[in-house]
Amino acid sequence: MDKGGAIFYQRMGHATKWNNCDLYRKRRIGIYERPLFWPFNRNIYGNSKIRIATGESSKESDGSNQWELSDLLNDLEAPEGIDLTENTIAEVLQLIANASCCVFYQDREGIIHINPLNKDLTDYRIDRDNSFANSEIELTKQLKSVNVNDGEFVLSVGNVGETQNVKNPLISKDRGEEVAIWTSEILSNRRIFSGEWRADPRLDAMDKITVENKFAESTVFVTQVEIYI
């Protein structure tokens, strides 16, 4: 938030954005920009907890965890012999989320999440009552195929469009198909909404909300909010 030449930050979650001053509650961004100095073991769930807690207390002051991890991570194992020591901790957490068909984000309370996209629609709406202008819709290019790890698995989606390449050493050969299908479901017929509306502190990263403009009513995921005064 830019006000009179000074920058102010609204507490607001972000989807996998680590270059902002939005790591509020004790969380120091430098910790997650460090390289991964130790070997990565095959248990993905355990690795997630270790990477998040690195350099910090593993609990909040009230005894609660600093993270919320999906149970999907419990049954996943990374391929043998991978070397991630040149990756930062933040990059490793992103790779873990991608391999488990989850999203990686931090909410406004500073809690880190690796979870599937939220299927529940919130009661928040962006409509003519709180919008300054109709939202604009940007259509992304059509998806032709998804290529996982340089051809280990290729999913054909359509006859025209672009190929989405997914390169992730944590995706084992037996998970290539599942990750490719998940990727295609997110990117096929994808639309990006942008607009200006009255600020509301209820909105958080990855909330699923309703957006109404003069053409239609749509459900969207919140990935970025910028607040101006």
> What is the CB-side half-sphere exposure of residue 186 using CA atoms within 13 A?
17
Which residues are CB-neighbours of 206 under 8 A, at least 6 positions away?
A: 13, 15, 103, 105, 113, 117, 118, 221, 222, 223
Is 80 exceeded by the pLDDT of residue 103?
yes
Q: What are phi and psi of 95, to 5 degrees?
A: -65, -40
Query: Could you tell me the strand order of the sheet in which 112-115 lies?
Result: 67-69, 112-115, 103-106
In contact, 105 and 15? CB cutoff 8 Å: yes
> Strands 103-106 and 191-194, how do they pair?
unpaired
User: What CA–CA distance (Å, rounded) separates 195 from 211?
Assistant: 10
Mean predicted lDDT score pLDDT of the chain: 76
Is 90 exceeded by the pLDDT of residue 183?
yes
Among residues 26, 105, 97, 17, the alpha carbon closest in space to that of 61 is found at 26
Which of residues 28 and 99 earns the better pLDDT score?
A: 99
pLDDT confidence bin for 43, thresholds 50/70/90? low
Query: If you average pLDDT over residues 189-208, what whole number do you get?
Result: 81
Which of residues 34 and 101 earns the better pLDDT score?
A: 101
Share of the chain above pLDDT 90, in %: 23
For the ranges 10-14, 99-103, 113-117, 118-122, the lowest mean pLDDT is seen at 10-14
